[in-house]
Amino acid sequence: MALKTTHPVLGVRALNRATLDRQLLLRPASLGVTEAVEHLLGLQAQNTKPPYYALAARLDGFRPEQLSALMESRDVARIVTMRSTVHTHTARDAVALRGLAQGGAIDRELAMFVSRGGLDGVDLDRLADLARALVAERPRTPKELREELLPEWPDADPQSLSVAARCLLPMVQVTPRGLWGRGGQVALTTTDQWFGDLAGDAADDPAAVGAAELDETVLRYLGAFGPASVKDMQTWCGLTRLGPVFERLRPGLLVFQDERGTELFDLPDAPRPDEDTPAPPRFLPEFDNLLLSHADRSRVVPAEAKGRTWTGNQAHRVFLLDGFLAGLWRLDEGKDRTTLTVEPFAHVTRAQRAALTAEAERTLRLMTPSDIPYEIVHAE
């Protein structure tokens, strides 16, 4: 009888410190904004402000105008990719990761709308051709897409038509949407129209995403979120059946296991700090990828905090203490004052309160106009 293979065990704290290091959350990183967005494989961006606060928590001296300028220059952009949710990506990743995600959650979202009957009688190839021509002429809002497509299929569900167009084509949310301090409704055009040559040689055809591109993405995922299991990566990207990819890469990877015996893969030269490495407090935005990119989130979310960061479909802003989820925070931005309220899940010590106050002040100095005073409130 074959003996079961065992691997070195990584406890929860060891996994926590390794993940925080990869996520640039143990210490402010000196990376540029473009390099950080690329390293992190994008920033979750259902709302417009979270990418800015995600970078403020991670980068030394970050200013929101830096990311905004990169959006205006089209070096980064907002696009639906992993898990069929909006992310802020570099131009190259916007194309490459959209192609990767197409075969997973994006196709499943389209199939769901088809199954509901809202697209009965709709030729999806023709819909894609018509939508491509419309957004090539000029960026269109979802409402405009619906209005332009509905005469072709008057019996179709209008919302299903615009969702299908967005699922069939790799479409960017163009600026001013997402710019710091500026408003703008969602307007869409294709990645080839928006980026031109900025995306490099990344292929925007989902069929062109082959083994080499998938292997590269697995390695990059481990670099940003590892050590991780196959299910962890599948949770992050929305794809399934990635086991054979990890098996193909196994000879070049280190293999550990967690305390439950689940295999965890990692890059040989990736940092795995001692579990007692200090982890300063960090204020994270709603939908931060740290909390959404593993099947087993116990490396960051203790059992007593599970389920406390959501109300319905809305995620709350959270903060970390000693590397683990420890409470929520609110930001009230008035014309004359900004108030950051800290709401811990449990009692905090005087030293922890002081550390939270210092990190809150750092965040507010980065993200609040210098002429508007701010205050920090601890709600216990």
Residue 238 neighbours by CB distance under 10 Å: 20
pLDDT at 3 (0 to 100): 43
Long-range contacts of 87-91 (CB under 8 A, 24+ apart): 87/42, 87/43, 87/44, 87/45, 88/37, 88/42, 88/43, 88/45, 88/51, 88/178, 89/37, 89/41, 89/42, 90/34, 90/37, 90/38, 90/42, 91/195, 91/198, 91/199, 91/200
* Bond before 139 cis per omega within 30 degrees: no
pLDDT at 2 (0 to 100): 42
Rg of the chain over all Cα atoms, to the nearest angstrom: 22
Q: Say how many residues make up the chain.
A: 380
Residues of the chain above pLDDT 70, percent: 95
Each residue's pLDDT tens digit, 72-101: 999 999 999 999 999 999 999 999 999 999
pLDDT at 334 (0 to 100): 85
How does DSSP classify residue 2? P
Residue for token digits 């293999």?
A: 255
pTM comes to: 0.93
Average pLDDT on 312-336 reads 92
The whole-angstrom separation of Cα 18 and Cα 275 is 8
How does DSSP classify residue 316? P
pLDDT at 197 (0 to 100): 77
Q: Does residue 183 carry a pLDDT above 90?
A: no
Q: Whose CA is closest to 143, among 178, 106, 176, 188?
A: 188
Average pLDDT on 352-365 reads 96
